[in-house]
Structure 1
Amino acid sequence: MVLEENKTSSKAPVGEFNSSDLEVGGVVVYRDRAEVKRMIRVSVKKGENDVVVNQLPSVVDPKSLRVEGEGDAIITDVIYQSKTNYDEKTKGDKKQYDKLQDEIKELVEKEKFLTFKLEVITKQRTILNKFAEQICKFSDSSKEEKADMSEILKSGSVDGVMGFLTAYQDKMSHLDEQWRMHDREKTTLTEQLNVLRKNAQDLNPTTVKDAKTNRCVCISLEAASDTDVVLALSYVVSNASWTPQYDLRVFSNDKTMKVFYYGLIKQSTGEDWLDAKLSLSTANPSIGGSVPELGVQLLKFKQPVVVSKSKRTSHRINYDELMLCSSAIGGGLQEYDPTIEDSCLEELEQKSTGKAIAPIEITTTQVETNWTSVAFNIPRMATIPSDNTEHKVTVTSVGLKPEFEYAIIPRMSSHTYLQAVVKNTSSYALLSGPANVFLDNNFVAKSSLKDVSPSEEFHCSLGVDPSIRLTTIPVKVLRGQSGLISKSVTVDYRHMFEVKNTKQEQVKVTLSEQLPLSTDERIKVHLNDPDVRKVNTPVNLPFGTVTLNSSNNLDWVVNIPTNTTQPITLTYSVEYPPGHVVQGLPKN
């Protein structure tokens, strides 16, 4: 049964509860909110009955309230109300508060009018000074400029200008005195406003401690006889979220990986979730479900900006300004309108006695797969207080079988990096989040996972392995010219790398190197060795494969036997017209 808002009920309730005192029937935590279910057990009488739940959280979404029930009764209505209660003192303060608000409103209007007066006076003074400066410059102007000024004087009336010059000093003194008077008046008014606003803030009924807002829901029931019913009240609250976190534990002896999947839950809803059955949902309601509409992209020519240039601009006075100046002389004014935590799920190493200790078993999380999301039902009850602190719950642990390979990027680093290539063979979707990586129970790195669906493959770095050694031979450069008629400069480059495997087993190594990409048709790059023509198409080599990827980089995938050194060569030429300097070429 859904709710109706802002209705009232006159019947005395058969049961009245505070929401935080009710048993938590379950909590579904989303990435940005949570849905809380509270259980209500109450005895009802034959006929109409009301059950009231008070003090719902302040962050509740009223439109999310839902009520379900068990028992011999019918839910006829669900009414949500929000009411602020005041004691006698607070009621008196509210009257005083309303009076102060009226006074503040009146003074604000006066302040606006004074601000407008000051702006007008400032404008008048500017125009008068500007006009006086032009009159002074008139005697030094050229004949052509004097002719133009004569036209202005005719338009504004010569008699009016002469009168202005006579009264200039008196008028400026009068304006200065007006400005100082209005400025003092505005300063005094601003001080009064600050005092009134401070007093109003202290009396604000929405902030006083004695004012309490009760958000409540009234559930109306129709019973055929006296009976007991169980109601489930559900509501959505903000200020709650969960994020995933992982421990990736790799064991080199049996070449296995265990992924320990945790959920970090935090909430500050104002209610504690005591002994709650938790469910973590991958849904993100804030994104919304409506498909966005794609508008029309319009192309048009940018209109040129025309700037008027006139030698006499500085000597011209706007006629509207002159009229405002005349109005000013007349005196007219217009009115203004965690740190890594120890876990009982860790693999226990073999003790010095040589006896292996069996790992502690964990309960299995139930997974509910919906059309667009997944929910993880945590098997144990948990208490999540409203303290906005992350609380770790265990989702599950997953055993996976990784493949190990090495990555080398000579241009960026001389180190060799061990990677685990893992296929998610579980039924759990791994959400993007931070991960702590352990190799044989030794912490080696902090990493992160992207979203990984079931049956999808992902990589995780396991740090540097010095047993795979890289030797980079300096680049060889050969310069020359080609062409009989249109000559061009040709530069040949030769990169050589040697990868040595000192481990007692064969390893798989991926070495990546850049092939320059031309952004100008006059610069041509020719790949000579290896002979790769198509993008993202592996080419077989005697010792592995090589691929030119979409980023114009070459990836060699090589299987290197134990105690073996594998050379890798890259040669290409760059051709361009003489007399140019090409940026981005490798250095010797």
Structure 2
Amino acid sequence: MRFFYRIAILLTVLLLSPIIYAVPKSNSAISHVTVFQNQAKVTRVISITENPGTHHITFSQLPIKLIPSTLRAYTDNKDDISILGLTYQTITDEIKSNKDPSDIIHTLDTLINIKEPKLKGYLESFTEQKQFLSQFTSTSKTEIEKNITEGAIDMDTWNNAFQFIGKNIKNINDSINYYNRELKICRKQISDFKFILKQIQKKEYNRSKSVDVTVLIKKNRPVTIYLEYLIPDASWNPVYNARLDMDKSKVSFTLMADIKQNSGEDWSNVAVSISSTNPTESVGSGQLIPWYIGRYIDFSLYNGMYGQITGSLFDKETNQPIYGASITIQNTSFGAISGTDGNFLIKKLEPGVYNLKITHLEYNTIEIQDVIVLPEDDEPYKFYLNKKITGIGEEIYVTAHHDVLDKFKTQNEVMLSKEVIERQPVTTVDELLTQVSGVVTDGSGYYIHGGRAFEVGYITDGVSVMNSNPSIKIHNKLLTPVSSQNFLLKEGVKLDRDDFKTTFHLTQKESIPSGTDAKRVFISENILPCKVEAIARPKRKEHVFRLARITNLDNLPLFSGLVQLFVDSDFIGKAVIADFIAPNQEFELPFGIDKTIEIKRSIVDYKKEFGKSDIKLSQQINIAITNNSAKDIELIIEEPLPVTVDKEVKIDFGDIFPEDFTLFENGIAQWVSIIKPNMKDTISIPFKIKYPNNINVTGIE
């Protein structure tokens, strides 16, 4: 009776347990790829028709490089199917060779068992013949003469025999050499065919990922299941064609994308999107650097000695001492705080050159470069600081209610309830986090709203900007975004844009094989207004360069990337947009040399005088400009003037011509002149340098 009771329980359990069906492995198709800056999101799809119940859907032959933590399965048939779980594993399959080794085996057998022994036999036979005939030629001359004298043999018979033997030995030697070469060739063929056979018979393996998705099918109708994952070794880079129209003062900006992937799987005839989510060689005149004149000091002479930096801080407007300012020596742990009299002192410094940074809550921060510290030099410095535009003296009144923004709350909170989690198509905590808005992962960690430990991000007018020390100057001029009729997307290209990303969808399917070659696709064309200037920095290059100040008047940003530069139909070189260009932001691009303007820099009136205690050096820099064009040219000329931070080096300027110029804090002088057609102009910079004759001075041209 007890036996039948157990059988009944077992049958009940089997009847109530869900039946799990296994769907055979399927090489799913790639339906869509979104390419980011350093990775890609691949979407695969499987369509099935199965009976209601629990099923295992297997996505096989997936690339080994995929990032497992980014796997996500979902469906658009939520009423007909539910995703219950997801697992993955690494599969190793033996690669079967399609080469038949039987021909090679037969050839090897012929070479080893037939040809090689046959050649060896020939060699042995000819070697024996040579040894036999050589016995006759080795007979001594005395013995031959004795046989001829005694009449045993006559001379003619011996001569004929000797010639016959010699001729045959020569033929035998030729045969031996021939069969030696043939045997060597045969053995080389045997070695080569053995290597080929070994390669064919060598077992090779292919490693791939396989993903098993457990689903609950509710209705007997076709359903579609999608699998997403991130793959590394995929990227796209913006490439621009910038074509300057000199007559219309416009630049035609064509955006293209170089898409490259080495993921291990080919993307064949798939829909492609490119997204900015994972946010040189110049033909221009280059940037000038300040021209510093100073003495050369061998600090090794002061080993074991110390110096100090002392000075005072004053308000630039009131001349009152500044109390409580922080004076730090950059890249060191040394510093001081100014006292009530504005004085500060930093002691115990090794002789050398230091950079100071002075900060105060109410004053603008200043940095002082190249402060020389010597044991015998303790002359105090004086620094004057400008007050910040916005002070902190205003009174703030707070009423008895909470602010809309809690100023004491340093983080945002996102609460996911049990009900919300149950509705998410996820199986792990990692997958759940990626469902939260603003949270992304690249396989190595999570990032909140794009933040990285090595980046400084900020948002201006709703546009996310990342500052990365651009090599092309970006003017911090942002206006209210406006719509533009100039922007033209390629036919079939769609655009998604929000404050954090721009995504282009290429509705024409593309094929991008895995490898090192990039595929270039056309995205858009934009006509941007510009102002073309002529600029010269003759100390660097004696040429006048075109510089276009361009305004991005569209509501789309420009991404950092390579720019191929054209003037009308002529290609002139390449430049780089090094940073994000926001809508309505101004930026600069060089457009090569303007050969209609000649410029020549020279040094004249050079004189060096040696006194009892000092050295005096005088010279004049002349910059000659000639306008060979038929129109007025507005020319910007920049030249570094010599400056010094050394108290013992004195620099005096004469009458600089033209006297109407702008002098920047770093010593760069700028002239803006209108040069008439076929006219010449000259800039003259006379100056004198005086320094003690017991010091060495660097920087003198």
Q: TM-score, normalised by structure 2?
A: 0.49
Amino acid at match of 1:61: I
Structure 2 distance, partners of 1:503, 1:365, is 44
> How far off its partner does 1:564 sit?
3.5
Are 1:547 and 2:547 counterparts? no
Where does residue 71 of structure 2 map in the other structure? Answer: 65
Where does residue 376 of structure 1 map in the other structure? Answer: 504
What are the ranges of 5 or more consecutive residues in structure 1 without an aligned counterpart?
Answer: 1-8, 89-201, 295-359, 532-539
SS of match in other structure, 1:380: strand
Structure 2 distance, partners of 1:268, 1:577, is 64
> How far off its partner does 1:214 sit?
4.6
Are 1:517 and 2:639 counterparts? no
Counterpart contact for 2:20–2:53, Cα < 8 Å: no
Where does residue 208 of structure 1 map in the other structure? Answer: 203
Query: How has the CA–CA distance of structure 1 residues 261 and 464 changed in structure 2, closer, same or farther, with 3 Å as cutoff?
Result: same
Query: How has the CA–CA distance of structure 1 residues 409 and 14 changed in structure 2, closer, same or farther, with 3 Å as cutoff?
Result: same
The within-5 A match list for 1:217-296 is 217-284=211-278, 285=442, 289=447, 292=453
Where does residue 175 of structure 1 map in the other structure? Answer: none
Q: Return the match for 2:56 from 50, 56, 71.
A: 50
SS of match in other structure, 2:34: strand
SS of match in other structure, 1:44: coil
Where does residue 417 of structure 1 map in the other structure? Answer: 545
Between the two proteins, what is the percent identity of the paired residues?
Answer: 22
Q: Single out whichever of 31-40 and 278-287 deviates more from structure 2.
A: 278-287
SS of match in other structure, 1:402: strand
Structure 2 distance, partners of 1:510, 1:570, is 16
Q: Return the match for 1:573 from 682, 685, 688.
A: 688
Where does residue 83 of structure 2 map in the other structure? Answer: 75
Where does residue 28 of structure 1 map in the other structure? Answer: 34
Deviation digits for residues 28-48 of structure 1 (CA, Å, limit 9, x no counterpart):
112221111112222232121
Where does residue 13 of structure 1 map in the other structure? Answer: 22
Counterpart contact for 1:549–1:555, Cα < 8 Å: no
Counterpart contact for 1:424–1:452, Cα < 8 Å: no
Q: Return the match for 1:504 from 601, 626, 630.
A: 630
SS of match in other structure, 1:227: coil
Counterpart contact for 1:364–1:396, Cα < 8 Å: no
SS of match in other structure, 2:69: helix
Deviation digits for residues 160-213 of structure 1 (CA, Å, limit 9, x no counterpart):
xxxxxxxxxxxxxxxxxxxxxxxxxxxxxxxxxxxxxxxxxx99xxx932x444
The within-5 A match list for 1:366-405 is 366-405=494-533
Q: How many residues align?
A: 381
Which structure is higher in strand share?
2
Structure 1 distance, partners of 2:592, 2:233, is 37
Amino acid at match of 2:270: A
Where does residue 458 of structure 1 map in the other structure? Answer: 587
> How far off its partner does 1:412 sit?
2.6
Structure 1 distance, partners of 2:602, 2:515, is 59
SS of match in other structure, 2:203: coil
Counterpart contact for 2:273–2:506, Cα < 8 Å: yes
Deviation digits for residues 419-478 of structure 1 (CA, Å, limit 9, x no counterpart):
222122233333333222111111122322222412333322222222112243542345
Are 1:475 and 2:604 counterparts? yes
Structure 1 distance, partners of 2:537, 2:68, is 56
> How far off its partner does 1:243 sit?
1.6
Which structure is higher in helix share?
1
Deviation digits for residues 503-530 of structure 1 (CA, Å, limit 9, x no counterpart):
2333222212222233532112344555
> How far off its partner does 1:584 sit?
2.4
SS of match in other structure, 1:378: strand
Counterpart contact for 1:28–1:280, Cα < 8 Å: yes
SS of match in other structure, 1:63: helix
Deviation digits for residues 397-419 of structure 1 (CA, Å, limit 9, x no counterpart):
11111211122222232222222
SS of match in other structure, 2:265: coil
SS of match in other structure, 1:60: coil
Counterpart contact for 1:52–1:217, Cα < 8 Å: yes
Where does residue 485 of structure 2 map in the other structure? Answer: none
The Cα RMSD (Å) is 3.5
Structure 1 distance, partners of 2:445, 2:244, is 36
> How far off its partner does 1:224 sit?
2.5
What are the ranges of 5 or more consecutive residues in structure 2 without an aligned counterpart?
Answer: 1-17, 97-197, 279-441, 456-487
Structure 1 distance, partners of 2:557, 2:613, is 60
> How far off its partner does 1:497 sit?
1.8
Q: Single out whichever of 74-83 and 374-383 deviates more from structure 2.
A: 374-383
Q: TM-score, normalised by structure 1?
A: 0.58
